[in-house]
Amino acid sequence: MIPVQGYRGKRVAVLGLGRSGLSAARALRAGGADSVVWDDNEAARIRAQEAGFTPEDLARSGAMDGLAALIVSPGIAHLYPAPHRGVAAALEAGVPVDNDIGLFFRSLATAEWENFDKTPRVVAVTGSNGKSTTAALIHHVLCMAGRESQLAGNIGRGVLDIDPPGDGGVVVLELSSYQTDLARALTPDIAVFTNLSADHLDRHAGPGGYFAAKRRLFAEGGPDRAIIGVDEPEGRFLANQLSEGSGDDRVIRVASGHVQDRSGWLILARKGFLSEWRKGRQVASVDLRDIAGLPGVHNHQNACAAYAAARCLGISPKVIGQAFHDFAGLPHRSQPVGEKNGVRFINDSKATNAASAAKALSAFRNIRWICGGLEKEGGLDPVVPYLGNVAKAYVIGREAAGFALHLAAIPHEVCTTMTVAVDRAVAEACPGDVVLLAPAAASFDQYDNFEVRGMDFIAEVGRHVNA
């Protein structure tokens, strides 16, 4: 645990008692603060009571009196589309609002660090798609290289639940826009921006607010190294703002396809190969084509970002390449879950928006595509260029018929449930086909989260593969 510094003897409230909220409450208590907690969900309040906390409604009159800070969990709106009533009360009362990420950065360094030969480092990864795989891959490379590493944030453990890093230790964080938007302290040593596509627009009042939330990690964090995916305009803009010129190697650009300017530090993914360029010269390369845990161009881009971070931490290209080949991939992200009669089954339940689904569709051919769910703003335009890879779509979700209206250009079938979708895809699949779950939608109309949706797919596939 990372005990929170700066609040000893003070009263601090925690709003939202999921994984990060309870972690923050415990870390505040460990640092000597008096933790006040609340969640609108009764079951969450009961769990907090079992952990030794006394819930107090933070929206009641006078609840903000004497508070030093309000710590808000990521799932709770603090500005758009409207602040939670507890947050609104804090804003009205002038109580500082923060989150567990802000507490982490203000509390990580201790006096013990003065005795270390190497100061611990923090690598923070954000972006719309690929940040989980990128963060996990960085962590994997570090472990394979014999370096102390911990994975936390939006993946792995809560940031305040990790152990204090030792001499030369590295903490790898995956950070969502909800987390970067609110944190009052953001000071990573290395920051990674994978890409940007339409997502969470209601929480950020549109694409500008969404990009601004991601940009805070760089503009306010001031990392020593910034690794920026530049395939989209936002990435190119961010890299331009952070760089003093094309030769400024504090900014490492990650790209796929043609890049005209190679005078700086560039990591390029093309035709299945990763190449590292420094000052106009190629200095290293890694063959990514046969790495089972990193299928498709999108994962090759993730590999480039992870490679750049590992290079910043002093790991050699040879060691990084060896570690890539040992990477098994993450659950629910282009995850192979079975094969029978020449038909492969791939679980990409994490493809919760159209842009991430498009990347999955680009990675395979002859696809039996299981899609649908709670549709997000922005529509399905990103998948259109890859519909030629789809033999047929099988649409799930409570509003499957409405979702299917976007798929008029390809054969499709309204299935509603995962059971029916998998049964129909298996019945019609031919050797060489790929049955792919890449929903291009949120899961909350039928499932608690994308993990539960992915596990349902795996279970349905198992009925056929193991029959």
Question: CB 224: neighbour CB atoms within 10 A?
Answer: 11
Residue 19 lies in a domain: yes
Do 346 and 294 share a structural domain?
A: no
Query: How confident is the prediction along the chain (467 residues), in pLDDT tens digits per residue?
Result: 999 999 999 999 999 998 899 999 999 999 999 999 999 999 999 999 999 998 999 989 999 999 999 999 998 999 999 999 999 999 999 999 999 999 999 999 999 999 999 999 999 999 988 899 999 999 999 999 999 999 999 887 899 999 999 999 999 999 999 999 999 999 999 999 999 886 667 788 888 998 999 999 999 888 999 999 999 999 999 999 999 887 788 999 999 877 777 889 999 999 999 999 998 899 999 999 989 888 888 899 999 999 999 999 999 999 999 999 999 888 898 889 999 999 999 999 999 989 889 989 998 999 999 999 998 877 899 999 999 999 999 999 999 999 999 999 999 999 999 999 999 999 999 999 999 999 999 998 999 899 999 999 999 999 999 97
Residue 3 lies in a domain: no
Residue 5 lies in a domain: no
Give the span between the Cα atoms of 376 and 361, in whole angstroms. Answer: 18
Do 452 and 393 share a structural domain?
A: yes
Residue 236 lies in a domain: yes
* Residue 260: per-residue pLDDT: 72
Do 290 and 177 share a structural domain?
A: yes
Do 448 and 319 share a structural domain?
A: no
Comparing C-alpha atoms, which of 305, 306, 300 is closest to residue 287?
A: 300
Do 393 and 350 share a structural domain?
A: yes
Is residue 82 classed exposed, middle or buried when 0-12, 13-18 and 19+ CB atoms within 10 A define those classes? exposed
Phi, psi of 116 (to 5 degrees): -80, 145
Comparing C-alpha atoms, which of 146, 196, 148 is closest to residue 172?
A: 148
* Residue 197: per-residue pLDDT: 81
Prediction pTM value: 0.86
- Binding-site residue numbers are 127-133
**166 token code pair:** 């030792």
Do 353 and 456 share a structural domain?
A: yes
- Binding-site residue numbers for ATP are 127-133
* Residue 349: per-residue pLDDT: 96
CB 82 within 8 A of CB 130: no
Tell me how many domains the chain contains.
3
Three-state helix/strand/coil letters over the chain: CCCCCCCCCCEEEEECCCHHHHHHHHHHHHCCCEEEEECCCHHHHHHHHHCCCCECCCCCCCCCCCEEEEEECCCCCCCCCCCCHHHHHHHHHCCCEECHHHHHHHHCCCHHHHHCCCCCEEEEEECCCCHHHHHHHHHHHHHHCCCCEEEEECCCECHHHCCCCCCCCEEEEECCHHHHHHCCCCCCCEEEECCCCCCCHHHHCCHHHHHHHHHHHHHCCCCCEEEEECCCHHHHHHHHHHCCCCCCCCEEEEEECCCCCCCCEEEEEECCEEEEEECCEEEEEEECCCCCCCCHHHHHHHHHHHHHHHHHCCCCHHHHHHHHHCCCCCCCCCEEEEEECCEEEEECCCCCCHHHHHHHHHCCCCEEEEECCECCCCCCHHHHHHHHHEEEEEEECCCHHHHHHHHCCCCEEEEECHHHHHHHHHHHCCCCCEEEECCCCECCCCCCCHHHHHHHHHHHHHHHHCC
**55 token code pair:** 């819930």
Residue 1 lies in a domain: no
- Find the CATH number of the domain harbouring 211: 3.40.1190.10
CB 426 within 8 A of CB 435: yes
Do 292 and 271 share a structural domain?
A: yes
- Find the CATH number of the domain harbouring 74: 3.40.50.720
Residue 388 lies in a domain: yes
* Residue 232: per-residue pLDDT: 92
Cα end-to-end distance, the chain, whole Å: 46
Do 69 and 30 share a structural domain?
A: yes
Single residue among 83, 98, 113 that ends a domain in this structure? 98
Neighbour-count burial for 311-335, b at 16+ CB within 10 Å, e otherwise = bbbebebeebbebbeebebbebbbb
Amino acid at 291: I
Q: Rounding to the nearest 10 degrees, give the CA dihedral for residues 55, 60, 65, 67.
A: 40
Single residue among 266, 300, 325 that ends a domain in this structure? 325
Question: Structural domain of residue 435, as residue ranges?
Answer: 335-465
Residue 247 lies in a domain: yes
Do 184 and 118 share a structural domain?
A: yes
Amino acid at 136: A
- Find the CATH number of the domain harbouring 371: 3.90.190.20
Do 247 and 177 share a structural domain?
A: yes
Single residue among 79, 98, 117 that ends a domain in this structure? 98
Do 427 and 372 share a structural domain?
A: yes
CB 275 within 8 A of CB 310: no
Do 415 and 286 share a structural domain?
A: no
Residue 6 lies in a domain: no
Cis peptide before 317 (omega within 30 of 0): no
